Structures are given as structure tokens and as C-alpha cells.
Amino acid sequence: MINDYPLGVIGGMGPKATSVFYDRIIDQTDAHQDQDHLNMVILNHATMPDRTQAILTNQGEKFLDTIKQDFKTLENVGVSNIAIPCNTSHFYYEQLQAMTNIPIIHMVDETVRYIYDQYGSNTKVGILATNGTIRTQIYEQAAKKYQLDLYTPNEAIQSQVMNIIYEDVKGDLSADPQKLEHIIQHLIQKEQCQSVILACTELSCISIKPQLRPYTIDAMDVLVEQAILRSGKQLKNNSISDRMISQNF
């Protein structure tokens, strides 16, 4: 059977981040007419249990039970690859992959490998993520594999990050880009991080100023590029690596 849907997306974590993911797929695909874009199936499962809460309260089974049907749906459609635009959920990657024979793009591993390919080992990299992602150390484990020095923000800054994610973006309030920009600047200037990972898709919803973009690696961008390439399409010239140029504040 010819596969008409090379990509399946389990979204809704959160809905705004899923819409940004879809927009970036469109923007980053080398396409000149409707028919050049890739076919995909997006399940916007907005009622999915909160991933950070599941991790911090040891209630992962509730999350896993809820997402199980989504894999069955995508299997019935016949997608070739699955993307889950939620960093925190990748704590359960092994359990998720065990639920389906369809390859799930590993957002965390692909992001860290991308950083290694760009900077090499022994690079100090900051991470901005949910408490759940930080607690699980999924990025730290991946960073160790590539001999990267992952820097986790202190408690005060981490609290600010969580407020941006949950109160501003998820809470559908006005997200002031300067809040995120100040944190990125702090990690680069004060903590001497060579780059900063935006390791929460809610942070991907915030448009930061162009001067800071070369210093950040957005995990969503990495997932977008992998999703396009694995679906047999080509990237536009403005890929991640094209904007990673040396700049000064």
C-alpha cells in the first residue's frame, strides 16, 4: 500500500505549540505549490494529562494509558514516522516507542546530536525547560553521551521559566519576549554558555529578537527539520545551521 501520510503528529501538548510546529513544517519545506508540501495527520490531543505533573507525582501510567489510543489511530492511517512536539513527554520515550512499530522521532537525542555536530564536545550549553524535563535529566543524559557540559539554571531563573511556560503561554496571557530574552542573555553572558536550548515547545511560541537567535537551539526546529527530511522532502535554505553565525550582543 502506498503511504499517503508519511508523518503523524501527536499534538495538543500544548495546542499553541502544536500550531507553531505545523506552521514551521510549512515554512521550512522546500515547496512551490500546495502539492509539494508533505501530507500529515495531526492529533491535537489537548486533554492529555500534564506531562510535568505526571513526572513529579509519579503518575506516568495515566499519561501512557491516554496516549496509547493515539498510536493505534496513527497505525490505522499508516503513517511512516511520528513526531511528538513536547520535550517533557520524551522522558517516557522507551515506553512510547514500545507501544508502536512506527518510528518516533527522538526530539531530545536529535537536538543534542545537532549541537554536538555544530559545536563539538566539551561545549557549555544552557537549557530552558519545564521542571519535569529538568527533573528527569533527559537532556543531561543525552549531553553526557556527546560529552557536552549542560548548564541548568538556578532555582530563581527556573521559576521564571516556568512562569513563562505555564502562566504566559499555556495560560494564554501576553508573553513578553523580553522575559525570555533576559534569561537567554544571562546564560550567555554571565554563565558563559555557548548556546541555549529552548527545550520546551511553549518557548518556541515566543518570538525573540534576531540578535539572540544564533545563540539558541530550538528543539522544535530540530524536530521540524527531522520530520521534513524523514518524510522525503527537502528543506528551504533558511535551516537551523544557516542562522547559526557568530554574533556579539
pLDDT, residue 4, reads 83
pLDDT, residue 249, reads 39
pLDDT, residue 172, reads 77
pLDDT, residue 3, reads 62
pLDDT, residue 112, reads 97
Q: Residue 100 corresponds to which cell in the numbers above? A: 508502536
- In CATH, the architecture of 7-106+224-230 is 3-Layer(aba) Sandwich (3.40)
Do the domains at 7-106+224-230 and 107-219+238-243 have one common CATH topology? yes
Q: Which CATH class for the 107-219+238-243 domain? A: alpha beta
Domain boundaries, the chain: 7-106+224-230, 107-219+238-243
Q: Residue 159 corresponds to which cell in the numbers above? A: 521559576
How do strand 124-128 and strand 195-198 relate by DSSP bridges?
A: parallel
pLDDT, residue 27, reads 94
Q: Is the peptide bond before 126 cis (omega within 30 degrees of 0)?
A: no
Report the predicted TM-score, pTM, of the whole model to 2 decimal places: 0.92
pLDDT, residue 8, reads 98
Stretches in the chain below the pLDDT threshold 70? 1-3, 173, 238-249
- In this structure, the number of other CB atoms found within 10 A of the CB of residue 66 comes to 14
What 150-156 contacts at long range (C-beta under 8 Å, 24+ apart), as own/partner pairs, is 150/125, 150/126, 151/124, 151/125, 151/126, 151/127, 151/187, 151/191, 151/193, 152/126, 152/127, 153/126, 153/127, 153/128, 153/183, 153/187
Instruction: List residues with catalytic annotation.
Output: 86, 200
CB 15 within 8 A of CB 72: no
Residues facing residue 106 across a β-bridge: none
